Amino acid sequence: MPVQQFGELLSDPKKLIRHILKVTLIALALAGLALVFVDQQASLYFAEQEVKGLIRAPARILTDIALSEYYFVGSLLVWIFCKWIGPRLSFLQTHLDRVDYYRRWALNFFVALLVAGVITHIIKFTVGRQRPHKTPDFDPYVFDHFTTHWHWHSFSSGHSQVIFTVATMLSVAFPRFKWFWIPFAMLICLTRVVVHDHFVSDIIFGACVGYVGTLLALQLMRKKTSNGIY
C-alpha cells in the first residue's frame, strides 16, 4: 500500500483490520511455501564452501544493521532534539511545524519498535523453532514450544521485524525514497539466511510483523495520544 494512503487506512478501523489480515495471511502462505520448498534448500546452498567464502563475511557485517538498539537510541535522540533543542535554535524558527512533526514521528518510531518487538518475542517464545545452524542438515521442522533459549527463537526473525519497522517509518518520513528503503530492508533480511541464523520463512513473517506492528503502533498513537502523525 502506498505510504500516502496510511492516513486513510488508519482513519478507518475496519479497513485497517482487513488490510492487516490480508497482509498476514499472504505472509503466512508465503512462509508456508518457503517452509516446504525453500528453507532447507536455501540453507544448504549458503553452506556450500564457494558461496560461503564469497558472501558470508559481508553478510555478517550487514546483518548487524538491523540491531534494534541503534533505532531505539536513534529515535529517542531525534525526539529529544525536536522537543527541547530544535525549537530553541534560531535557524529553525521558521520550520517549527516540521520540527514538531519529526518529534511526533520519532515518538511513533520508538513505539513501533516496541509494539512490533513485543509481538515478535511472543511468537518466538510460542513457536520455539530451532535455528538452522543448530542442525547439521538444516532441518526446518525442529520445534520446542514455549522456550526462552535463543537457539529456539528462529521464527519469526527479529532482525527482519526491526528492519521492516525501520523501512516503514522511513517511508513515512521520507516517502520520496521509499523505492530504496524497502529493497534495502529485503537485502538485510536475506543476510539472516546467509549467516544461518534464520530460514527463509522466518524472514518472510518477520518482515510482516515489522510492517503490521508499525501500523498497529501508528494507530495506537493516533487514537490514544495527541502525538499521532496521521
Mean of the per-residue pLDDT values for the chain?
A: 96
Q: Is the pLDDT of residue 144 over 80?
A: yes
Contact partners, residue 128, CB within 8 Å, separation at least 6: 143, 144, 145, 146, 147, 152, 153
88-110: burial string, b at 16+ Cβ within 10 Å, e else? eeeeeeeeeeebeebbbbbbbbb
pLDDT greater than 50 at residue 91: yes
d(Cα 154, Cα 140) in Å, to the nearest integer? Answer: 10
pLDDT score recorded for residue 1: 47
- Per-residue model confidence as pLDDT tens digits over 75-85: 999 999 999 99
Written as nine digits, the cell of 41 is 534448500
Sign, CA torsion 81/87/89/92:
positive
Apex CA 187: angle with CA 181 and CA 189, to 5°?
Answer: 100
Q: Where exactly are the structural domains of the chain? A: 3-224
Residue type at 20? I
- With b for 16 or more beta-carbon neighbours within 10 A and e for fewer, the 137-163 pattern comes to ebebeeeeeebeeeebbbbbbbbbbbb
Residue 179 backbone phi and psi in degrees, to 5: -65, -20
Q: What pLDDT digit, counting tens, does each position of 107-124 carry? A: 999 999 999 999 999 999
Straight-line distance from the first to the last Cα atom of the chain, in angstroms, rounded to the nearest whole number? 15
Across 219-229, average pLDDT: 93
Spatial CA neighbour of 104 closest among 222, 2, 210, 212: 222
Local confidence band at 5 (pLDDT 50, 70, 90 cut-offs): low
Is the pLDDT confidence value at 165 over 60?
Answer: yes
Residue 139 to residue 9: CA distance in whole angstroms: 40
- The three cell numbers locating residue 30: 508465503
Q: What's the rounded mean pLDDT across residues 26-35?
A: 99
What is the Cα–Cα distance from 6 to 168, expressed in whole angstroms?
A: 11
Contact indicator for 65, 189 with CB cutoff of 8 Å: no
- Residue 4 pLDDT > 70: no
What's residue 76's pLDDT?
A: 99
Provide mean pLDDT across the span 130-156: 97
* The one-letter amino acid at 71: Y
Of the chain, the percentage scoring pLDDT greater than 90 comes to 95
For the entire predicted model, the pTM comes to 0.96
The predicted model gives 42-66 an average pLDDT of: 97
Tell how far CA 89 is from the center of its chain: 34
Beta bridge pairs of residue 143: 129
Q: What is the mean pLDDT of residues 55-66?
A: 98
Q: In the numeric block, which cell numbers belong to residue 52?
A: 560461503
Res. 230 pLDDT band, cuts 50 70 90: confident
Strand partners, 116: none
